[in-house]
Amino acid sequence: MQKKEPRATPEEFKKGVVRYQDVPLVELMPHAHSHIVSGKNVLVSFITMSANSSFALHRHEAEQIMIVVDGYCDEIIEGKLYRVQKGDVILLPPNIEHGAYVYEQPCSAIDIFSPPRQDYLDKLNKAIEAQANNRVCPACVFRAGPGPRLATTLLSPFCYNTGGKPAA
């Protein structure tokens, strides 16, 4: 196959591509950590819930799609348990009460929210600010590979505040 398109410059690459290993790991709640990437209208959360933990019942205005990528859990949706496992896709309309129970192994999922959840953006922006100030905030751990380290790329071009403008 012959390539006709020019290769993106490093500057162009940074505007449209985020390296997973450079995304700060954010504590969403005890026993639930996520790498969060957001655009103006959608937010993606790469979440891992620890073994033998629970994700408290909650509601949010965002529509959510959850894709289980490893392990299994019982999703609590409007008071009923749904056993979900690797490969399952869960559709959660806005404002539906839901949570999860995780058992003997961690459960990892990709959560997609539209519109982006402001509470997640606030946690991400706190992590980015801590990274920019070259300090680790108590609620955030930056990880790439087996050991902790500070991420090297700021994600502020991909994070939006409630005004829909890129975060400073």
For the chain, the residue count is 168
CB 81 within 8 A of CB 62: no
CB 167 within 8 A of CB 125: yes
The full set of domains in the chain, from first to last, is 23-158 (2.60.120.10)
Q: What is the pLDDT of residues 23-37, one digit of tens each?
A: 999 999 999 999 999
**Among 102, 161, 100, 96, which Cα is nearest to 126's?**
161
Distance CA 84, CA 39 (A): 28
Which amino acid is residue 61, in one-letter code? E
Q: What is the pTM of this model?
A: 0.76
Distance CA 132, CA 155 (A): 10
Q: What is the pLDDT of residues 57-108, one digit of tens each?
A: 999 999 999 999 999 999 999 999 999 999 999 999 999 999 999 999 999 9
